[in-house]
């Protein structure tokens, strides 16, 4: 229900007070006028009654009475009056009434007659009034003693009907009422103007405060002349300055908090006790594959379909201690999330929970790679070391004295030692390339790419000729790109050797190089591809093909003499150049390795 305005409140109070005052004044005025009129009538009647009593005081014989009677009739008939004479026992002695006297009440029947007779008997004047219901008029009665002053003989009662007087008074009261109503209406109009004038400073102050509440920090607070409103305006101005300052502070904090949340790689998700999302950063939205604007203030179960996350949120809200758990998100791609949840509590009893989500998919993959690397490098080193140790022990046990066996054993030991040396050299090469890749100071020089490809093919030619494999180079002689020639040559050699190992006999190998436009920028990239028509690789091996010591067919790889580090070295060389490497392979159809190196 809306509250009344100050002007209406003031006007309402003023109007009620005005009506009460005017009504009271009208009532008092009417009562006073009626009383004055009645008193004046009594005075006139007393004068007439005393005069009549004086005329009758000396009347003793009937002849004198007959002379006075016409005179009394003339006096009485001039107004609506009645003249009656009573003795002190209440007996009427004489009556004279005017023709237009309407009131037919007999005084001897009135209970006030005894009072009047007692007053006159004591030598005083008695007066009273009586209301006649039949004629709707009042009867004024005054009694004076007549006869000798020392010994009155009776009471002379003069009665007057006030019908005409009351009619005149009624008209006067109507005019008085009209006057009071007119004055009241004018006073109400003036009061309404005064109420508007008085309430205007408060109204202006309220509007200014409302604009400040709505966020208008530039709004000036008016300064009313009224002391109380001036105090409110001054306090409001101070409050406005504090609110503006606090708003700026909170705004900066919100911006800083938003910047911190947006810069976090971890996803942050906040929910209230009813599981409605109240906070979400971009990292969490990306992990959960939802839209921030759509998700805010929505129930979690309507936005996130993963039941494991919903169960974790319920646990986080209910638990007093921080909790942690891992769960999987279906892809693509499939990801593993590690969640940390903490319950929130406020003094009102409400609360919620905050979850920090970490995508540990890559960490787990790297952990698997690390474990595989340790296992693979241990296995790769163990085999030649065990072979060397076994043949050395055999030689020490006496086989060294057998000329045929000792040469064969020593050649095996030398071959395994070469294998160890190749593994160590590849590991050292990887270490050097990684250092160059991490420091970003790999020396680059404009180099003819055709020369690098020709040199690489020449290094691999003896092994290729053994299997009847031909190598076809497709490269413009004038193609020049800024590269590190020794490293790029090693990468191409590793790719060609890999193609020779896994290609069938008399299958050609294609080596191509050219420049192409980069996808994201208006720049060029050097693309080098090596394609073979060998056994190919199954798709499940492709994501891990460039890991260290990873082998698709371990037995065949070792028979081919590889260390398991060739493709890993190629990947790090390309990354040191700021490029990427990709592979496209199908079983029994061959493989295509493609290097993309930006021309910076």
514 CB neighbour count, 10 Å cutoff:
15
Under the banding of pLDDT at 50, 70 and 90, the label for residue 63 is very low
pLDDT score of 28: 92
What's the mean per-residue pLDDT of the chain?
Answer: 78
Question: Cβ contacts of residue 115 below 8 Å, gap of 6+?
Answer: 126, 128
Query: What CATH topology corresponds to 441-598?
Result: Heat Shock Protein 90 (3.30.565)
Domains 6-170 and 264-359 share a fold: yes
Q: What is the dihedral of CA 403, 409, 411, 416, to 10 degrees?
A: -170
Under the banding of pLDDT at 50, 70 and 90, the label for residue 182 is very high
- Is residue 441 within 8 Å of 467, Cβ to Cβ? no
pTM check: above 0.85: no
- Is residue 97 within 8 Å of 117, Cβ to Cβ? no
Q: How does pLDDT run across 264-282, given as a tens digit for each residue?
A: 778 888 888 888 888 888 8
pLDDT score of 186: 92
For the domain spanning 6-170, the CATH number is 3.30.450.20
Residue 163 has pLDDT above 80, yes or no: no
Q: Which is higher by pLDDT, 457 or 391?
A: 457
Classify 586 as helix, strand or coil.
strand
Rounded average pLDDT over 530-556: 75
- DSSP letter for 565, please: -
50 CB neighbour count, 10 Å cutoff:
17
Please give the backbone phi and psi of residue 553, each rounded to the nearest 5 degrees, phi first: -125, 95
Q: Can you tell me the distance from the alpha carbon of 360 to that of 369, in angstroms, rounded to the nearest whole number? A: 14
Rounded average pLDDT over 468-492: 86
Q: Can you tell me the distance from the alpha carbon of 60 to that of 56, in angstroms, rounded to the nearest whole number? A: 9
Rg for the chain (alpha carbons), in Å?
A: 63
Q: How does pLDDT run across 510-521, given as a tens digit for each residue?
A: 999 988 877 666
Q: How does pLDDT run across 406-447, given as a tens digit for each residue?
A: 777 777 778 778 777 776 776 676 666 666 665 566 788 888
pLDDT score of 27: 92
To the nearest whole percent, how much of the chain has pLDDT over 70?
A: 80
Is the N-terminal amide bond of 333 cis, ω within 30° of 0? yes
Instruction: Find the length of the chain.
Output: 600
Domain segments of the chain as ranges: 6-170, 225-260, 264-359, 441-598
Residue 505 has pLDDT above 80, yes or no: no
- Is residue 359 within 8 Å of 337, Cβ to Cβ? yes
Rounded average pLDDT over 294-313: 84
Classify 332 as helix, strand or coil.
coil
For the domain spanning 264-359, the CATH number is 3.30.450.20
Question: Cβ contacts of residue 168 below 8 Å, gap of 6+?
Answer: none
Please give the backbone phi and psi of residue 322, each rounded to the nearest 5 degrees, phi first: -60, 145
- Is residue 98 within 8 Å of 77, Cβ to Cβ? yes
pLDDT score of 554: 56
pLDDT score of 600: 67
149 class by beta-carbon count within 10 Å (0-12 exposed, 13-18 middle, 19+ buried): exposed
pLDDT score of 20: 92
Q: Which of 133-137, 532-536, 591-595 has the lowest mean pLDDT?
A: 133-137
Residue 173 has pLDDT above 80, yes or no: yes
Rounded average pLDDT over 9-23: 87
Choose the most confident range, by mean pLDDT, from 19-23, 69-73, 74-78, 80-84. Answer: 19-23
Q: Which is higher by pLDDT, 391 or 182?
A: 182
pLDDT score of 512: 92
Under the banding of pLDDT at 50, 70 and 90, the label for residue 404 is confident
To the nearest whole percent, how much of the chain has pLDDT over 90?
A: 2
Please give the backbone phi and psi of residue 114, each rounded to the nearest 5 degrees, phi first: -60, -40
Query: What token pair was written down for 324?
Result: 């942690």
Q: How does pLDDT run across 226-264, given as a tens digit for each residue?
A: 777 777 777 777 777 777 777 778 778 777 777 776 777
Q: Which is higher by pLDDT, 226 or 342?
A: 342
Q: Which is higher by pLDDT, 432 or 498?
A: 498
């Amino acid at each position: 229900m809306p509250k009344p305005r100050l002007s209406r409140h003031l006007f309402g109070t003023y109007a009620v007070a005005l009506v009460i005052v005017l009504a009271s004044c009208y009532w008092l005025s009417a009562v006073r006028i009626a009383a004055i009129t009645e008193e004046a009538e009594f005075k006139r009647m007393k004068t007439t009654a005393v005069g009549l009593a004086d005329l009758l005081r000396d009347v003793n014989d009937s002849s004198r009475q007959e002379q006075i009677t016409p005179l009394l009739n003339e006096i009485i008939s001039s107004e609506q009056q009645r003249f009656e004479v009573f003795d002190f026992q209440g007996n009427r002695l004489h009556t004279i009434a005017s023709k237009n006297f309407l009131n037919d009440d007999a005084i001897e029947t009135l209970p006030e007659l005894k009072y009047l007779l007692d007053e006159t008997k004591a030598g005083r004047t008695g007066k009273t009034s009586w209301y006649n219901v039949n004629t709707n008029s009042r009867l004024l009665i005054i009694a004076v003693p007549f006869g000798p002053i020392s010994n009155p003989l009776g009471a002379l009662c003069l009665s007057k009907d006030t019908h005409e007087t009351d009619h005149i008074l009624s008209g006067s009261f109507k005019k008085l009422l009209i006057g009071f109503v007119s004055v009241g209406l004018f006073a109400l109009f003036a009061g309404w103007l005064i109420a508007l004038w008085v309430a205007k400073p408060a109204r202006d102050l309220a509007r200014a405060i409302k604009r400040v509440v709505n966020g208008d920090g530039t709004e000036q607070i008016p300064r009313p002349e009224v002391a109380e409103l001036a105090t409110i305006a001054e306090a409001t101005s101070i409050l406005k300055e504090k609110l503006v300052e606090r708003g700026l502070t909170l705004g900066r904090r919100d911006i800083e908090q938003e910047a911190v949340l947006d810069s976090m790689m971890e996803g942050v998700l906040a929910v209230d006790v009813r599981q409605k999302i109240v906070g979400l950063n971009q990292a969490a939205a990306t992990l959960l594959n939802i839209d921030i604007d759509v998700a805010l203030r929505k129930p979690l179960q309507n936005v996130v379909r993963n039941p494991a996350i919903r169960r974790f949120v319920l646990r986080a809200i209910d638990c007093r201690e921080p909790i942690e758990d891992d769960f999987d998100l279906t892809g693509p791609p499939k990801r593993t999330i590690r969640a940390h949840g903490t319950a929130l509590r406020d003094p009102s009893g409400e609360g919620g929970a905050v979850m920090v989500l970490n995508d540990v998919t890559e960490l787990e993959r790297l952990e698997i790679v690390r474990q595989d690397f340790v296992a693979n490098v241990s296995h790769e080193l163990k085999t030649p070391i065990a072979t060397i140790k076994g043949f050395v022990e055999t030689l020490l046990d006496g086989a060294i004295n057998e000329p045929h066996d000792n040469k064969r054993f020593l050649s095996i030991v030398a071959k395994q030692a070469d294998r160890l040396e190749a593994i160590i050299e590849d590991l050292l090469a990887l270490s050097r390339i990684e250092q160059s890749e991490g420091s970003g100071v790999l020396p680059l020089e404009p180099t003819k790419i055709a020369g690098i490809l020709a040199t690489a093919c020449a290094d691999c030619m003896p092994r290729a000729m053994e299997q009847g494999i031909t190598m076809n180079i497709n490269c413009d002689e004038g193609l020049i790109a800024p590269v590190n020639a020794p490293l790029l040559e090693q990468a191409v050699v590793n790719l060609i050797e890999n193609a020779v190992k896994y290609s069938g006999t008399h299958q050609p190998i294609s080596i191509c190089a050219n420049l192409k436009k980069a996808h994201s920028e208006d720049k060029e990239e050097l693309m080098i591809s090596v394609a073979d028509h060998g056994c190919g690789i199954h798709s499940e091996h492709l994501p891990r093909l460039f890991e260290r010591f990873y082998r698709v067919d371990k037995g065949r790889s070792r028979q081919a003499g590889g260390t398991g580090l060739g493709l890993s070295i190629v990947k790090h060389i390309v990354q040191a150049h700021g490029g990427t490497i990709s592979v496209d392979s199908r079983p029994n159809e061959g493989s295509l390795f493609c290097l993309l190196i930006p021309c910076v």
